[in-house]
Amino acid sequence: MIVRSIFTKPYAIPLLLFLIAFTLRTIALDKIPIGIVNDNMVFVLNAKAFFYTGHDVTGQWNPFSLTPLPDEPAQAELPYIYLSPIIGPLPSSLFAAHIFYAIANSLFVVVLYLLVKKLLHEKIALIVGLIACFNPWAIFFGRSAFETSLAVFFYLLAFYVLVNTSGWKKLLTFIPLALGFYTYMAYKVTLIPYVAIISLFAWIQVDHRKYLKQYLTLFLLCLGITSLFLFNAYQRNTINRLNEATFYSASDVSNQVNFERRMAIKNPFYVIFSNKAFVATKYIIGKYIGAFSANNLFVDSERLLRFHIYNHGHFYYIDFIFLILGFCYLLARNRKLWILLTSIILISPLPTIVSNEGITYVMRSSLYIPFLYIYIGVGIWSILTIKKSKAYLMISSLLIGGIYVLLIGNFLYTYFFIQPVFASEAQAFSSRLMSRYIQLANSENKKTSVLLGNPKNQFKNYIIYSNIYSRQTSEEVKNAFLRRNYRLKNVTFITCDELETIEKNSIYIFDAGKKCTQFINVKNTLSIVQLSDSGAVYNIYQDSICSKFNLKPYVANLTFNDLAVEKLSPKNFCETFIIKYPDIK
C-alpha cells in the first residue's frame, strides 16, 4: 500500500525519471569521460576561480559583465556562476567538472516530461521522458562539460514556464531564456525565432489570445538582450565570434568558383552556374539539409572526434521509424502541435548555417533534440494504441521494450568500454596523463619543463588535474596568467623558442609530432601516447620517474581502475601509461 501510494503521487513519475537519468549520467563519472577538452577547461578553471575570488583566473573579469572572457575564444558568459558552487569547493576532478551537467540534464528529462504532459497527456509524457533518459545524445552530453545541454535545459524550461503561467507571471519565462542565451553562444542566434514560435503557440492554444501585452513585453525583453550582446560584441576588440557569424567563407566560395571554372569544358553558362552567388547558395542549402542527416542522427554520429560516438548515432536505429510515425500521427491528429514542433526543429540549424567555422550540428543545432524526442514518443504511442486490447498492448510493449533494451545495452557497452580508448584524444587524455606525470616529478622535487606550442592550455590542464587551485594559490596563478609566465614551483610551461639550455638534471616534455630542434637527435626518451594506437603524443627526455619500472612498448589490458589516473601509484601509472618503444637498430 505504501509503494502504491508513493507512485500515485504527482511527483512520483518525475522523481523516477530523474533517478533513472541521474544514475545513467553519474555511473563512473570520476573516470568517463576520461578528460576535459580545452574549450571546456576554460569553464572549469574559471568557475573555480569565481568561487574563490569573484573573478576569472586573471582577476580582470567577472561574468556579471555579461561579456565573454578576455584573451580566450569567445564563449558563453554565465556558466561560471552556476558551476562555481559545485566545482569551487570540491577537489578538482572529472567528477567535480561534470556533476553539474549531469544534474541539469537529469532535470531536463523531468521538465520535458512535464511539458509533454501539459501539451499532450501523461502516458505519452512518460514515454518521452524514458526516451530522454536513455537517449545517446542526452547521456553523452549529460556527462560532459559541453554547455549545449545546459542551454537546451534552460530553453525547454522557459517553454514550460510560459505555458504554465498567467498574467504578468508570463515574464518569469524571461529568466530561463536569458540563462540559456548567456549559457551557449550558438543559442543567441535562435533566441528571437524560438521565443516568437513558442509565444505564438502559447498565446493562441494555451491562453486563447489573452495576455498580448505580456507576450509582447517578453519578446521585447529578448530583443533587448540580443541587442545588448551585439552592442558589446562590436565594442570589444577581443570578440571574434561576430567574424565567424557569416553564412559562408568568402575565400572558400571564391576558391570553389575558380575550381569549377578551371574544371569545366568551355561553355557560355559558367557565368550563371559557376559564380559566387550560386555556389554560396548551394553551400548554405547543403549545410542546412545536413542538420537532418539520418546517417549522423541514427547511424554514425558526425565525424568531429570530440562529438563522435564510435560506430553509433546520437539516436537509436529504431528511433528513425518512430520519428516518422510520430510526425505523421501529429500531422493528422494535432496539426497545431505539429506546426509548433516542426517550426522549432526547422529553426534549430540556424547557428550552424550562420557560422563559417567548420560544420557541426550536434551542438550548434541541438535545440531540436527534445522536440525530436516528442515525435519519437508520439510514434511509439501510435503503435501501442493501434488496437484497444490489453494483450496487444502487452505484446507490443514487450517487443518495443526488448528492442530498446538491446540497443541501449549496445550503446552503453560502446560508450563505457570502447569510447574511452577510441576517442581518448578527443578528451585530451594525454594532457591528463602529462599532468599526473608532472605531479609525480614534483613529489620527487624534479625540475620539469614542458615545451609546447600553446603553453597556456597545458598550464590550465595542469592546474585542474593536479588540484592546485585554491584560495591560497589563486594570487600566484593569477600572476602567472597575467605575465604569461606559466611557472609554478618546479614546473615551467614554455615554447621551444624560449628554451635556452638543456640542464642535466631536469626533465623535458615536448610534442612528439613537432619536435623542438634541441631534441631532434636525443635518444632514450619515453612517451605519453594516445590509447587507440599507442602513438606518441608527448616525449619525455631525461626521465627519472618511470624508467625504474618495467615499461611496456604499448598500452594494453586497460581496466576501469586504470582510468582513475590520479589515484594510481607511481608504479601502476608508469607501467600502464608511460611507453618505452623498442630501440631501432
* 448-451 and 507-511 strand pairing: parallel
Instruction: Give the residue with greater pLDDT, 549 vs 267.
Output: 549
Percent of the chain exceeding pLDDT 90 equals 72
Provide, rounded to the nearest whole percent, the portion of the chain with pLDDT above 70.
Answer: 95
User: pLDDT tens across 195-221, in order?
Assistant: 999 999 999 999 999 999 999 999 999
- CA distance between the termini of the chain: 77
Task: Output the CA–CA distances (angstroms, integers) from residue 132 to 325, 369, 375, 377, 399, in the order listed.
Answer: 18, 9, 12, 10, 19
CB burial readout 75-102, b (16+ within 10 A) else e: bbbbbbbbbbebbbeeebbbbbbbbbbb
CB 389 within 8 A of CB 1: no
| Whole-number Cα distances in Å, 526 to 66, 505, 508, 562 | 45, 16, 11, 19
Model confidence over 40-75: pLDDT tens digits?
999 999 999 999 999 999 999 988 888 888 877 778
pLDDT band at 2 (very low <50, low <70, confident <90, very high): very low
Amino acid in position 358: G
> What's the average model confidence in pLDDT over 311-333?
96
Is the pLDDT reported for residue 242 higher than 60? no
Instruction: Determine the 3-state secondary structure of 300 from DSSP.
Output: coil
pLDDT > 60? residue 247: no
Determine the pLDDT at residue 510: 93
pLDDT above 80 for 102: yes
Per-domain residue ranges of the chain: 428-453+495-579
Q: What is the pLDDT of residues 366-417, one digit of tens each?
A: 999 999 999 999 999 999 999 989 999 999 999 999 999 999 999 999 999 9
CA distances from 522 to 383, 504, 510, 551 (A): 67, 13, 12, 19
Query: Angle 94-119/12-26 helices, nearest 10 degrees?
Result: 150
* Residue 33 pLDDT: 94
Q: For all residues of the chain together, what is the average pLDDT?
A: 90
Average pLDDT over residues 339-351: 96
Q: What is the pLDDT averaged over residues 217-243?
A: 78
Distance CA 34, CA 30 (A): 8
* Burial of residue 164 (number of CB atoms within 10 Å: 0-12, 13-18, 19+): middle
Average pLDDT score over residue span 429-451:
94
Return d(Cα 477, Cα 367) in angstroms, integer.
37
Look up residue 226 and give its three cell numbers: 540580443
Sign of CA pseudo-dihedral 65, 68, 72, 76: positive
Say what the pLDDT of residue 246 is. Answer: 56
Q: How far apart are CA 16 and CA 183, in angstroms?
A: 28
Residue 152 has pLDDT above 80, yes or no: yes
pLDDT bracket for residue 1 (50, 70, 90) = very low
Rounded mean pLDDT of 129-138?
98
Cell of 205: 492554444
Instruction: Report the pLDDT value the prediction gives residue 237, as an integer from 0 to 100.
Output: 53
Residue type, 350: L
pLDDT band (50, 70, 90) for residue 303:
confident
- Average pLDDT (454-471) is 94
Interhelix angle 455-465/429-443, nearest 10 degrees: 70
